[in-house]
């Protein structure tokens, strides 16, 4: 297939490019580098099966030649207001990537009669009242809360994909991604994994927002990419959760990072920086992915973190 991947210079987009090229596909990567990093494209540089187009997906998209599939991953993704790369500091760009970017990429899918896959998120469930989160849950989102620029853009994007699916017959997929980590995350986007790993490597206290009793469920990037590929190749047009169901409090997560890296320093408790909009519990129900895609994650948290730390060491200029 000739596949268009938006957000190609980002964490997940770059892994997808590499994975799909290795599967024998031709990949066209698109990005405007608003939160991405050109260095993430290095593994594809010079590859005959890769073409990069620098472009903002909020504007009309032209792609040369036939396209068989589109994976729309372009969007800021970090909720952390302390980083210039957090979506609350890129609010209009985030809404445009989810709204106009989704509209433009769906237009390409329609023009090329191509398969379409949207990167949605566990954030569409908001601060969930149902636990764990099944795909049938409608969510609990404040439409004007600080996170709404991201959550509502993704909810709109899902609605638009379903409209194109129902009205235009687009062959679509929606993946609801839960917290994923691994090499190529931005060091300074403020998400919990880069923050904690860097703090631990620097022997600094890990910054816990609130009391650390909020939970997340962390998936290693390799497991996620495998799940996304299975979904792309399936016939499933309803949303599918892909994530690791091992739920953990942020405080326990911090302790594990300290233990793996060998950081003797204690935690630093900070006020909830996210204006009370921090989801308190998050855990995917992956029954649908298991039954439809025969997919489940295989990487333990410890193995995934150990596989991620060398990337951070290299970027931080630390040596083994
Ligand atoms: P990322 O910031 O590393 O990657 C996003 C990429 O999209 C960046 O390279 C950025 O420059 C690009 N981009 C943003 N707006 C653009 C625009 N208008 N035009 C062109 N390119 C644009 O983040 P990520 O973690 O790789 O997330 C990728 C996608 O997966 C996002 O859509 C995000 O919502 C979704 N997602 C990620 C996670 C996760 O845990 N990583 C969880 C849920 C959903
Ligand atoms: N968090 C934290 N310290 C940090 C960064 C994040 O305690 O330095 C917490 C944050 O409050 C949230 C969780 O870690 O409860 C995950 O945050 P992240 O920004 O990675 O993404 P989210 O899951 O909220 O989208």
DSSP 8-class letter at 101: H
The Cα 9–Cα 166 span in angstroms is: 31
Distance from the CA of 189 to the center of ligand 2, in angstroms? 11
Residues with CB under 6 A from ligand 2: 78-80, 179, 191-192, 195, 207-209, 214, 216, 250, 278
**What's the chain's length in residues?**
320
Residue 250 CB coordination number (10 Å): 21
147-160: average pLDDT? 97
pLDDT score at 314: 96
Residue 274 — pLDDT band, cuts 50, 70, 90?
low
- Looking at residue 320, what is its pLDDT? 63
In this structure, the number of other CB atoms found within 10 A of the CB of residue 122 comes to 24
Considering every ligand atom, which ligand is closest to the CA of 178? 1
C-beta 77 within 6 A of ligand 1: yes
Q: To test ligand 1's pocket by mutation, which of 7, 100, 189, 224 has the most ligand atoms within 8 angstroms of CB?
A: 7
Distance 281 CA to ligand 1 centre (A): 22
Ordered DSSP codes for 291-311: HHH-------HHHHHHHHHHH
Question: Rounded mean pLDDT of 136-146?
Answer: 94
Write down the domain spans for the chain.
2-181+219-242
Distance 74 CA to ligand 1 centre (A): 5
CA distances from 244 to 183, 187, 224, 248, 277 (A): 17, 22, 9, 11, 23
Nearest CA to ligand 1 atom 14: 75
User: Where does 169-297 have alpha helices with state H?
Assistant: 192-201, 221-233, 250-261, 287-293
| pLDDT, tens digit, 9 for 90 and up, residues 94-115 | 999 999 999 999 999 999 999 9
User: Strand pairing of 115-121 and 69-72?
Assistant: parallel
Q: Per residue in 216-226, pLDDT tens? A: 999 999 999 99
The answer to whether the CB of 179 is under 6 A from ligand 1 is yes
The predicted-structure confidence for 224-239, as pLDDT tens digits, reads as follows 999 999 999 999 999 9
Which contiguous run of DSSP H or E holds residue 149? helix 148-168
For the CA of 40, the closest atom of ligand 1 is: 9
DSSP class of residue 237? -
Q: Nearest bound ligand to CA 193?
A: 2
Q: Are 240 and 292 in contact (CB under 8 A)?
A: yes
pTM score, whole prediction: 0.98
Average pLDDT, the chain: 96
Q: Which of 182, 268, 258, 274 is nearest to 224 (CA)?
A: 182
Which of the four CATH numbers 1.10.3720.10, 3.90.1300.10, 3.40.50.720, 3.40.640.10 does domain 2-181+219-242 have? 3.40.50.720
- The reply to whether 150 belongs to the active site is yes
| Best mutation site among 9, 18, 19, 35 for ligand 1 pocket (most ligand atoms within 8 Å of CB) | 35
- Closest-CA residue, ligand 2 atom 5, reads 192
Dig out the tokens for 63 from the structure. Answer: 């792609």
CB atoms within 10 A of CB 45: 9
Percentage of the chain exceeding pLDDT 90: 95
Cα 111 to middle of ligand 2, angstroms: 39
The CA distance from 66 to 288, in Å, is 32
- CB within 8 A of 287, min separation 6: which ones? 134
239 Cα: distance to centroid of ligand 2 (angstroms): 24
The residue annotated as part of the active site, out of 85, 116, 125, 150, is: 150
In this prediction, residue 247 carries a pLDDT of 98
- Closest ligand to C-alpha of residue 121 is 1
What would the two tokens of residue 64 be?
């040369």
Please give the Cα distance from 318 to 320 (Å, whole number). 7
């Amino acid at each position: 297939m000739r596949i268009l991947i938006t957000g190609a210079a980002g964490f997940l987009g770059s892994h997808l490019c590499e994975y799909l090229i290795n599967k024998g596909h031709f990949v066209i990567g698109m990005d405007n580098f608003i939160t991405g990093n050109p260095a993430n494209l290095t593994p594809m540089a010079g590859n005959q099966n890769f073409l990069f187009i620098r472009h903002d997906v909020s504007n009309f998209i032209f792609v040369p030649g036939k396209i068989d599939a589109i994976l729309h991953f372009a969007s800021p993704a970090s909720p952390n207001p302390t980083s210039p790369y957090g979506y609350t500091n890129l609010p209009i760009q985030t809404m445009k990537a989810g709204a106009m970017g989704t509209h433009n990429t769906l237009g390409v899918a329609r023009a090329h009669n191509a398969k379409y896959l949207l990167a949605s998120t566990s954030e569409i469930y908001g601060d969930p009242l149902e636990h764990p989160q099944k795909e049938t849950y409608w969510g609990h989102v404040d439409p004007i809360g600080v996170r709404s620029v991201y959550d509502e853009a993704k909810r709109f994007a899902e609605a638009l994909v379903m409209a194109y699916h129902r009205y235009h017959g687009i062959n679509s997929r929606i993946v609801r991604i839960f917290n994923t980590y691994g090499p190529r995350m931005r060091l300074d986007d403020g998400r919990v994994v880069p923050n904690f790993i860097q703090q631990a490597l620097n022997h600094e206290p890990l910054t816990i927002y609130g009391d650390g009793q909020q939970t997340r469920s962390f998936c290693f990037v390799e497991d996620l990419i495998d799940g996304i590929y299975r979904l792309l190749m399936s016939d499933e047009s309803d949303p599918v959760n892909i994530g690791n169901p091992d739920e953990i409090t942020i405080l326990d997560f911090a302790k594990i990072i300290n233990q793996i890296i060998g950081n003797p320093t204690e935690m630093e408790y900070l006020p909830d920086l996210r204006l009370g909009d921090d989801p308190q519990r998050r855990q995917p129900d992956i029954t649908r992915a298991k039954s439809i895609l025969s997919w489940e994650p295989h990487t333990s948290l410890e193995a995934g973190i150990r596989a991620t730390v060398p990337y951070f060491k290299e970027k931080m200029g630390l040596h083994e």
